[in-house]
Amino acid sequence: MDGSTATVLGTFIGALGGGRQQRAEHARWRDGVRRDAYTTCVSASKQLSAAWWKMADLLADDSSTREQRQAGFVRAHDAWTEFSGAVAAVAVVGPRSVADAADTFRQALYEMDMIGLAWYEAARTSSRGHVEEFNSRFVSAARAKRQPDKNFQLAARAALNTET
């Protein structure tokens, strides 16, 4: 093998190795971005759920004030905004299986959010009637979100290959 052939071959082998290293670095970067997005989504979902449970307590409590309920609603609304943004980030970083699971989870929490909003509106515009009806609907929606929550977490672990 002459010197020019050895140089070409060495360059080719170096390029192959460099390409593998770049792919490995990209995969590490991607997994880090995904891990951050997934963790943020889980945390935001817990904050949203907690805000609505606190709000449900206020709505069911005859001694809570209009101001307390308004402040609770603002916290729940802010938590929804955070969660919605977190789900959008998951949709961007993927993969599709995790994005789809996050969207299903978002829909389940949206149902809980809408029941909470309807309950809050009913409390604002009328007496404390309907507490049992709304509380029952809220608890059902909270239970219904458990499986989509679990499915999202399972999809995230699969995407990050953390089952091993």
Contacts of 84 (CB under 8 A, 6+ apart): 106
Predicted confidence at residue 131, as pLDDT, reads 81
* Global pTM value: 0.86
Residue range 37-160 forms a domain whose CATH class is mainly alpha
> Sorting pLDDT into bands at 50, 70 and 90, what band is 2?
low
Higher pLDDT, 10 or 164: 164
